[in-house]
Amino acid sequence: MTVLEINGLCKSFGGLQASQSVTLTVPQGGITSLIGPNGAGKTTLFALITGFHTPDSGSVRFLGEDITGLPPEAIAKRGMIRTFQTVQPFAGQTVRENIAVGAHLKIRGRAEALAKAEAVARQVGLGDRLDMDAASLTVAGRKRLEVARALATDPKLILFDEVLAGLNPSEIRDVIPVIHAIRDEGVTILLIEHVMQAVMSLSDYTWVLNQGAIIAEGPPKDVVSDPHVIEAYLGKGMAERIAKREAASA
């Protein structure tokens, strides 16, 4: 079953076509990734899906219902949550309080929401920083916070926008199981990522966006050998590196 269905979505800023009739689907239960060069329109697409921008044309269907043009909070209430590429913590509030805002989407009571926040923080590895001011987290810490807040809402679909950026390879290795665990709880994930190591090992299916349009789709290992994708996005060096690694692990 498809959770998310995007049909012919268009958006332009002045003369720039940031999204040119994008059509894609996200199936239930898996991890789908969205890659593409810088400025391809990935973040813009997320903003269109989640109601932060209104599309010029096209439609977005979530869980079978048309949600095009709904405000962000209404979409979030239906269970689709995005994170921000430029992290947006509630500065001045503690990590626990930050996450509790997410938890409050479903939970009314304060104590329960705080308890839930604590649990989620542990899950994403922020358990030791619960009482820290969110503003004093490092960039990587803030990324985790973004994940935790989204997770605390008990979403059906999460859109991650580059949550792994800024982590070193070993840290990425540590976070991958966390994301798998989220999926295993039944949350569908759509992620934007430039870290190919993660895209390869996480996602079941990949969409490639370039200059506002989808140029390729398929299982990640097929996509990375697509010459268009290599030319526009991966570059020869990375393609070779991936090929080598794939070969090694095979």
Q: Which residues bind Mg ion (CB under 5 A)?
A: 43, 85
Among 3, 4, 9, 18, binds ligand ATP (CB under 6 A): 18
Q: How far is CA 76 from CA 67, 104, 114, in A?
A: 11, 12, 20
What tokens were used for 195? Answer: 């870290």
Q: Sheet harboring 205-210: ordered strands across?
A: 80-82, 157-161, 188-192, 31-35, 205-210, 213-218
- Nearer of residues 40 and 190 to another protein, judged by Cβ: 40
Question: For another protein, which stretch binds (CB under 8 A), given 21-29, 60-68, 80-88, 182-190?
Answer: 80-88
Among 26, 40, 198, 229, binds ligand ATP (CB under 6 A): 40
Give phi and psi for 190, each to the nearest 5: -120, 125
Among 9, 34, 118, 141, binds another protein (CB under 8 A): 141
The span from the CA of 199 to the CA of 178, in Å, is: 14
Beta bridge partners of 205: 32
Element holding 209 (H helix, E strand)? strand 205-210
The span from the CA of 68 to the CA of 72, in Å, is: 10
Q: Does 170 bind ligand ATP (CB under 6 A)?
A: no
51 dihedral zone (left: phi>0; alpha: psi -120 to 50; beta): left
User: If contact means CB under 5 to 8 A according to the sort of partner, which of another protein, ligand ATP, Mg ion, none does residue 179 touch?
Assistant: none
Contact indicator for 195, 178 with CB cutoff of 8 Å: no
Q: Does 178 bind another protein (CB under 8 A)?
A: no
Residue 125 burial class via C-beta count within 10 angstroms: exposed 0-12, middle 13-18, buried 19 and up? middle
Among 8, 27, 39, 219, binds ligand ATP (CB under 6 A): 39
Among 6, 9, 67, 76, binds another protein (CB under 8 A): 76
- How many residues form the binding site for ligand ATP (CB under 6 A)? 18
Shortest Å, Cβ 208 to Mg ion: 14
- Binding residues for ligand ATP, rule: CB under 6 A, are 13, 16, 18, 36, 38-44, 85, 136-140, 166
- Binding residues for another protein, rule: CB under 8 A, are 13, 35-40, 43, 50, 52, 71-73, 76-77, 81-86, 88-93, 97, 100-102, 104-105, 107-110, 113, 133, 135-141, 149-150, 153, 162, 165-173, 194, 196, 232-235, 237-238
